[in-house]
Amino acid sequence: MTNVLDRIKAYKLDEIAARKARCPQGEIEALARQASPVRDFAGAIQARIAQGDYALIAEVKKASPSKGLIREDFQPAALAAAYQAGGATCLSVLTDAPSFQGHEDFLIAARAAVDLPVLRKDFMYDPWQVAEARSLGADCILIIMASVSDAQAEELEAAAEAWNMSALIEVHDAPELERALALRSPLMGINNRNLKTFETSLETTRDLAAQVPEDRILVSESGMSTAGDLATLSGYGARAFLIGESLMRQQDVEVATRTLLSNPVRMGATT
């Protein structure tokens, strides 16, 4: 039985092979070395949380396999600027074309419009892709535990470290979280959406949060749309949130971002 994630992995491996044939490791590394200096993605999230604020990773997302086209008027630079003005801490930009109608140029344009660190949101299997991400300017990569072996995850994380980039480790269940804890990255993403079935429930974060050690930053991912959702997830221990669709559906993205982030539960504050 093949699921969505398996299908994505199959075409992604073909895509990687074709790209590597056009631009071998040495060449992509040379391009990566010329890229704009790395912005500290994990550090920005850590700093925002330390201030008692929520850290928002705001996603530039045109379409998804489960929802189709999400936003008609899609201008990555303007959207990035709106996210930054609305209070986002970092950006995530989808670069996968077949399933998300993403593009490398969207990441380049979005990052150039702001001074926030940027996650390249794509399906990573090969250290070559990490160098490619850096060559585009990306500051962070995604490692989806459901789609890689332990050895692959370790190899991708090591590549991110070698480029001074952050890595967001994504899990959806307890066995994946267990495997993820063998890695070093402080950024532990709990995806509320099952990438094999698209089923989405904030209870995923509730059920796994207790198993995330204190020294990791819990990032709740997917399926959030209101300040109330953030408050609920904050009750489970999440202080960082990765949000795309609900913000992409708003006419005024800056106002929507600011509204979403209003009313944070200030840690340690008494009422």
Ligand X SMILES: O=P(O)(O)OC[C@@H](O)[C@@H](O)c1c[nH]c2ccccc12
Query: Which residues are near ligand X by CB under 6 A?
Result: 59, 61, 121, 144, 170, 191, 221-223, 242-246
* Catalytic (active site) residue 147: no
* Catalytic (active site) residue 9: no
Of residues 165 and 247, the one with the C-beta less far from ligand X: 247
Of residues 27 and 199, the one with the C-beta less far from ligand X: 199
Q: Give the active site residue among 185, 220, 222, 245.
A: 222
Apex CA 134: angle with CA 68 and CA 261, to 5°? 55
Q: Give the active site residue among 9, 12, 62, 121.
A: 121
**Closest separation between CB of residue 114 and ligand X, Å?**
18
* Catalytic (active site) residue 222: yes
* Catalytic (active site) residue 254: no
Of residues 135 and 222, the one with the C-beta less far from ligand X: 222
* Catalytic (active site) residue 61: yes
Q: Give the active site residue among 61, 92, 135, 220.
A: 61
Which own/partner contact pairs does 29-33 have at CB distance under 8 Å and 24+ positions apart? 29/131, 31/131, 31/135, 32/131, 32/132, 32/134, 32/135, 32/163
Of residues 29 and 209, the one with the C-beta less far from ligand X: 209
Q: Give the active site residue among 9, 12, 29, 59.
A: 59
Characterize 149-173 residue by residue with b for buried, 16 or more Cβ atoms within 10 angstroms of its Cβ, and e for exposed: eeebbebbbebbeebebbbbbbbbe
Contacts of 99 (CB under 8 A, 6+ apart): 4, 8, 64, 65
- Rounded CA separation 260/247 (Å): 9
* Catalytic (active site) residue 191: yes
Contacts of 55 (CB under 8 A, 6+ apart): 44, 45, 48, 49, 89, 90, 239, 240, 241
* Catalytic (active site) residue 121: yes
**Closest separation between CB of residue 218 and ligand X, Å?**
14
**Closest separation between CB of residue 87 and ligand X, Å?**
16
Q: Active-site residue numbers?
A: 59, 61, 121, 170, 191, 221-222
